Amino acid sequence: MKRTVQTDLKRMNFAFRNLPSVVLAVSALTFSSCTVPSSTGPEAITKVNPYHLKSAALERTDDPMIRFEQKRLLHGAVDAAEMKTRFGNYYTVFWETDQVGVPTTIRLNYRQAKTGPMVLTKEIEVQSPKKKNTTKFEIVGDDYQENGQVTMWKASIVRNGEVITEYLSYAWK
């Protein structure tokens, strides 16, 4: 019996000795950035701001920007049906280019909760981009109501059919 207890204590001691490394690894994965830019060269997506509007009830938060964004998106909706058409996912893509004035396409690939592994795509062509640009995408209305919220996404700059750079959500595979 004594031998078994000592063996068990040694095993527990080994497990606790490795606990800080396990906690550190789990923390690094949990608190890592939500997005991963793949390029910071002359063509770059510098940031993507995702926003999920899921109800008309004001979010309880101390951050006035979140309340402002919700109010801005619901502004002008006069009844519940009109508000419901505005529920969904909104993405603002901030990007830069050295090729000012050259037509460029910004692409958003995404998956939704009810579409499984199917990748959906939205594209916006910018005919005459400046040095710094902003492009907005919306997944709202029937698309959002039928297919659910966006679970992962990838933003890309595309020129002449070639992907120049990408910016990925942490969940994109």
**pLDDT (tens digit per residue) in 1-47:** 555 555 555 555 544 455 444 443 433 333 333 455 555 568 999 99
CA distance 94 to 111: 21
Q: Looking at domain 33-169, which CATH architecture does it have?
A: Sandwich (2.60)
Please determine, for residue 135, whether its predicted confidence score (pLDDT) is greater than 80: yes
pLDDT tens per residue, range 64-76: 888 898 899 989 9
The percent of residues above 90 in pLDDT, for the chain, comes to 64
State the pLDDT at residue 150: 97
φ and ψ at 138, to 5 degrees?
-130, 130
- Direct distance between the N- and C-terminal alpha carbons of the chain, in angstroms, rounded to an integer: 50
State the pLDDT at residue 2: 53
State the pLDDT at residue 53: 93
Please report how many Cα atoms fall inside a 13 Å half-sphere around the Cα of residue 129, on the Cβ side: 25
Question: Minimum mean pLDDT among 65-79, 123-137, 156-170: which range?
Answer: 65-79
Average pLDDT over residues 76-87: 92
For the chain, give every domain's residue range.
1-32, 33-169
- With a CB cutoff of 8 Å and minimum separation 6, the contacts of 17 are none
State the pLDDT at residue 6: 57
Please determine, for residue 89, whether its predicted confidence score (pLDDT) is greater than 90: yes
The percent of residues above 70 in pLDDT, for the chain, comes to 76
Average pLDDT over residues 38-58: 84
- With a CB cutoff of 8 Å and minimum separation 6, the contacts of 74 are 53, 56, 83, 86
Place of tokens 């640009």: 133
Residue 53, CA distances (Å) to 32, 74, 141, 146, 169 in order: 24, 9, 11, 15, 18
One DSSP character per residue, 98-119 reads SSTTS-EEEEEEEEETTTTTPP
Handedness of CA 110, 112, 118, 122 (dihedral sign): negative
Q: Give this prediction's pTM.
A: 0.75
The tokens of 27 are what? 């923390």
